[in-house]
Chain A
């Protein structure tokens, strides 16, 4: 089963607002990934994080690898309608090469 706790479960925001979501675990991960999934499609990789404390940006998206290695955060700045979708965190345990554990996702709805 999934060991990652992702929150919030859903967010309803107005266009232009910033969005923050996070993922926590009781386990230590050596890699954190963030994906976006739109209805009927596969997840699309947004950001990959490899070091504790690392802060990485991809356009309006910024993600951080938590210092404890047990959490990660994703921020979306100045949201636009095309940001709508489900955002998933995924972590790789230290002894599980390539095997990702996913959170349950955060659904983001952006209203004009």
Chain B
């Protein structure tokens, strides 16, 4: 069954260190999303890609976060430097096309900043 792959599943890092998350969307899905989910809340969109282009990164804290999808397939989300408030679940999702709302999520990366 096709699924969104994310790694690592868990990451513990010290504040001020750099951390990176990887996502491989469902094959053939043109649109890729990174969401952040704080405990007890729903996911919030950080960045949206259509193929290799950023469609929306208005909610991405660009002073410390960066995201790329160089070949329009897999994607990397980076945080540098990490802060205590960045502790959260980072979820990647993909959809067939930008006009298709049905998004399928990966298992997420649980980040703890100490």
Residues of chain A whose beta carbon lies under 8 Å from any beta carbon of chain B: 2, 4, 6, 31, 33, 35, 40-45, 48, 88, 90, 92, 97-100, 102-105
Q: How far is the CA of A70 from the CA of B100 in the complex (A)?
A: 20
Beta-carbon contact of B102 and A33 below 8 Å: yes
Given contacts A4-B42, A31-B101, A102-B42, 16 further A-B contacts (CB under 8 A): A6-B42, A33-B101, A35-B105, A42-B6, A42-B93, A42-B105, A44-B105, A45-B105, A48-B102, A88-B43, A92-B101, A98-B48, A98-B100, A99-B45, A100-B43, A100-B103
The reply to whether A41 and B44 contact each other, CB–CB distance below 8 Å, is: no
Return chain B residues, CB-CB under 8 Å to A42: 4, 6, 91, 93, 105-108
Q: Which residues of A have CB within 8 Å of B110?
A: 40
The number of chain B residues with a CB under 8 A from chain A is 28
Is B63 at the interface (CB under 8 A from chain A)?
no
Interchain residue pairs with CB less than 8 A apart (7): A6-B42, A31-B101, A35-B105, A43-B43, A45-B102, A99-B45, A104-B42
Q: Please determine whether B108 and A98 come into contact, CB atoms closer than 8 angstroms.
A: no
Instruction: Specify which chain B residues have a CB less than 8 angstroms from the CB of A40 in the assembled complex.
Output: 107-108, 110
